[in-house]
Amino acid sequence: MRIAVDCKDLILEKSLELFLKEYLVTKNDCDFIVCDEKISYAKPLFIINDNSPFLQVPFSKEKLLTSLEEFDEALKIAAKKLAQEQRKILEQKIDTIANEFKKEYEEKINKAILSLKDKLVKALMNE
């Protein structure tokens, strides 16, 4: 679990940094951002405030870590599900391309066989 912290409330931010020191990384390297209000960033947000569905103030270190681990696990499950869906779509595209190639190849072989058959028939007729 790699976490970045970005809070408007400096006391909350410093508390989180103290509790989460072993998990802290930069925003670019994190799995998600812990913040106290919604921010614009291309990473999942774990919001801590009075109305948050993730964690509300006040909280204990144990409750924080448990909530973060649950959030991280949910992100991993969602990512795995998305990867499986993308794999299925890719497999379907590959199957479609393979079937189209097979059909075209069979048509070319059939045309070549018919052409050869016609040439053999003509050759036998001319003898």
pLDDT, tens digit, for every residue of 113-122?
Answer: 999 998 888 8
Q: How far apart are CA 6 and CA 127, in angstroms?
A: 91
Q: How far apart are CA 22 and CA 70, in angstroms?
A: 17
Calculate ∠ Cα 53-1-30, nearest 5°.
85
Q: What pLDDT score was predicted for residue 17? A: 95
Alpha-carbon 85 to chain mean position: 9
pLDDT, tens digit, for every residue of 21-68?
Answer: 999 999 999 999 999 999 999 999 999 999 898 999 889 999 999 999
Q: How far apart are CA 31 and CA 112, in angstroms?
A: 57
